[in-house]
Amino acid sequence: MRLFEHEAKALFRRAGLETPRGLLAETPAEAVLAASELGPRVAVKGQVRSGGRAKAGAVRLAEGPAEIEEAARAVLDTRVSDQPVTALLVEEALDIEAERYLGIVYDDRSRGPAAVASLAGGVDVEDEASAAARVPLSALDPAQDFRLKEAVSSLGLSGRELVELTGILGRLWHLFTEGDLLLAEINPLARTADGRWVALDARVEIDDDALFRQAETVRDLGIDPATRSDREASDLELEAARIDRSDHRGVAGRVVQFDGTLALLIGGGGASLTAFDAVRAHGGSPANYCEIGGNPSVRKVAALTRLLLGQPGIERIAVIMNVVNNTRADLIARGVIRGCLDAGLEPARAIAVFRVPGAWEEECVALLRHYGVTACDRTVSIDEAAARAVAASG
């Protein structure tokens, strides 16, 4: 879950990191009012959960009420990576002597966290990748001071700046581990004319699967996780998330909508991705990606099935899961059948394929047979089930 800048900076301040004084605004008039409390010259920053704001014109310096109002109006009319600006962060403009980049990231190469440091802070830091230091860290050991110092010292820094930046990186590391983060980034970290290090921008991503441990933090920030993704959630996705939250049992509602014609109920660890890719590989057109598992209630499965089949142009649903041991196949079948009937569709017609082998499989097979649906057992691979679903859906 990616945070807005103002939310990320709230976490930074909790971790002992300094940020510019700032206030949120939703209108140009509010931006002018906020600036009156911060100083004559301010930065007007559009709040989107995406990088590249400055290049898109969503970050502007302004001085004086008329200029600030004009800047706020322009930023609010900007889209960044096809995301609308939802609010403004108005911050005091600081006198900057130098900029750096510091971050704790999840590194695909080392398959774990890594400290990243660069002398090149700012909008083009990605273009200076060769000048960046990247040092793998161990999530099993909270004491990583030596490696953090290694990341900073490898930039050729020493003395006071080495000590200060290592300390800042240490606070980021503590925030990363305690907050279940996938990313904690300061870009740029600025040294002001009076010698302070200030986080001018902040990017934070929380691991979705750890949100249950970060419930207090999310609540304090006023965030509804169901509304957070890298793009605006569709009405279907929001309703699916509401269905999932309506009952604590299992997962049935993590949906990403696509423009295809075949609804999918898929699950079983990486099997959901395998099934989705297999449908596409066989020429199918998925209407959604949807995780299901952990023994969701019949009511949740039925509501989700009805929701997916209720979309315009969707008449068939494919139910494909890995061999299950923590989910009753018969309960999935009951929910899907009930959802089909609630949508006014005959299960034998609406279910393109049903492959949920494992626990309570015999009861599942008998129930589906009663409604004219043939269940696939584990001798039918996920790939073959996907092929049958595509063929059945035409």
> What's the pLDDT tens digit per position in 146-183?
999 999 999 999 999 999 999 999 999 999 999 999 99
Q: What is the pLDDT of residue 228?
A: 67
Could you tell me the two tokens for 86?
A: 């939802």
Asked if 184 contacts 175 with a C-beta cutoff of 8 angstroms, the reply is yes
Q: Is 289 a catalytic residue?
A: no
Higher pLDDT, 105 or 230: 105
> What's the pLDDT tens digit per position in 268-324?
767 899 999 999 999 999 999 998 999 999 999 999 999 999 999 998 999 999 998
Partners of 98 in the β-ladder: 191
pLDDT (mean) for 220-239: 78
Residue of 69, 91, 101, 361 with catalytic role: 101
Residue of 185, 205, 237, 361 with catalytic role: 185
Q: Is the pLDDT of residue 265 over 70?
A: yes
For residue 237, give the amino acid letter. Answer: E
> What's the pLDDT tens digit per position in 96-153?
999 999 999 988 777 889 999 999 876 555 444 447 899 999 888 777 889 999 999 9
Write the CB contacts of 129 (distance below 8 Å, at least 6 apart in sequence).
none
User: How many percent of the chain have pLDDT more than 70?
Assistant: 96
**Which candidate, 391, 394, 389, 392, places its Cα nearest to that of 265?**
389
- Which residue has 């699967």 as its token pair? 209
Taken in order of first residue, the domains within the chain and their CATH numbers are 21-92 (3.30.1490.20), 96-220 (3.30.470.20), 233-392 (3.40.50.261)
